[in-house]
Structure formats: structure tokens, C-alpha cells
Amino acid sequence: MSNEIEIRISSVDNTGAGFSSATAKQEKLVSGTAALGKAATETSARTKRLGSDLESAGRASDGAARQAGKFGDSLKQVGTIAAGVLAADAIKAGADKVVDLFKSTVDAASNLGESVNAVSKIFGANAAKIEEWADKNANSIGLSKRAFNELATPLGAILKNSGIDMDTVSAKTIELTERAADMASVFNTSVPDALSAVQAGLRGEADPLERYGVGLNAAGVV
């Protein structure tokens, strides 16, 4: 009887120990499940944060793209403005050249007109003879028509004031101009320089003509 009671008590004890062990395992399982749930919750939160960060990064990227687009547009505007400025400068430079050319043409025409008027006043009815010679020969001696007229006018005035007739004045003016051209060629100077020396000789100044090997005395002055 006593042995039977001990066996039963031992069985109860073993059964209780079994329940205790099962309870402990259950608690561990619950604890593990709770930890797993917590980890899952944390993972979910991290995933959300990552999603939020990615969304922010996307917005920042879009913003940067928009800024880059604006910068590109600004560069295009700068390029357009610069091209416009360069084009305006080129147009202005071209216009200035046209204006300068027109002005120089007008000035040349005006100077020629003044020289022709001067020839008419000095030579009178013989002016046509002077102008005709200039048209045919001025370029051949390295002078423009205007330059010849400007040189012939004071030369004709000196000869005219000497009291000789106008036909002789016209003929001598042309002759002395041709001599001056020869002197310039021989002594390697310009026709205006040589003709100025001739005019100086007619006024009684000897030094300019001596540079060309011409001696002058009072009797030789016209």
C-alpha cells in the first residue's frame, strides 16, 4: 500500500514537472513570438523611413532637375543675348564703314569741286584747257585731278601776276607741271614737291630749286 502511494505521488510529480516544462517552453515560444513581432514592427518602421527617404530623395532630384533646366534656359538666354549683341556690333561696324565710305566720297567730290572752281577763277576762259589736260595726263604723272588742280592754281596765279597773257599762263602752267614731273622722276621725289620748288623759283627763292640741280638768277625769273 505504501509503495503504491509512493508510485502514484512520483507519477503526479513527474506529470507536474512535465507541465512545468511545457509551460516554460510555451512561455519561451510566446516570448520568441513577441520578439519576432517587435523585430517585424521595427523592420516595417525602417522600411517606411526608407520609403520616406527615397521619396525625399526623389523630390530633391526633381528639384535639382528643374533647377538644372532653369539654368539651361538661363544659359540659352545669355547665349541669345550675346549673339544679339555680337550681331548688333557687326551691323554697327558695317554701318560705320558705309558712313565713312559715303563721307569720304562726299568729301572727295567736294574737294574736287572746290579745286575746279579755283581753276576757273585763276584761268578764266582758259580753265577748260587746264581741266582737259588734267583729265588726260594727271594720273600718268602720279596725281589725281584734284591734286593737279590744287597745284596748278597757285602756279597759274604767280604767272598771271607777272603780267603775261592768259594763253601763255595756261601753256606755261602745263609746261612747268610736266618739267616738275620729270624732276621728280630723276631725283626720286614727288611731283608736288618738285612743283613747289618751281613755284618757289618763280617767287625768286633759289634754294628749293638747287636741290634739283637748277641754278636761279634774277634774269631767269619769268
Residue at 81 is within a domain: no
What local confidence, expressed as pLDDT, does residue 116 receive? 87
Looking at the chain, the number of H-run helices and the number of E-run strands are 6, 0
- In this structure, is residue 184 part of a structural domain? yes
Mean of per-residue pLDDT scores for the chain: 73
DSSP at 143: -
pLDDT digits (tens, 9 = 90+) for 82-119: 666 666 565 656 655 544 444 444 444 456 678 789 99
Q: Is residue 66 part of a domain?
A: no
For residue 2, being part of any structural domain is answered with no
Whole domain around residue 178: which residue ranges?
102-220
Judge whether 34 lies within some domain.
no
pLDDT above 60 (res 162): yes
Total domains in the fold of the chain: 1
- Pick the residue with more confidence: 90 or 203? 203
Q: Is 29 exposed, middle or buried (0-12, 13-18, 19+ CB in 10 A)?
A: exposed
Q: How far is CA 175 from CA 132, 152, 190, in A?
A: 14, 11, 17
Q: According to the model, what pLDDT value does residue 87 have?
A: 60
d(CA 152, CA 127): 11
Does a structural domain hold residue 16? no
Q: Is 190 part of any domain?
A: yes
Specify the pTM: 0.48
CA 47 to CA 105: how far, in whole Å?
A: 85
List b or e across 129-145, with b for residues whose CB sees 16 or more CB atoms inside 10 angstroms: bbbebbeebbeebebeb
Dist CA 120 CA 136 (whole Å):
18
Q: Does any domain span residue 62?
A: no
Q: What is the pLDDT of residue 72?
A: 64
pLDDT tens digits, residue range 116-141? 899 999 999 999 999 999 999 999 98
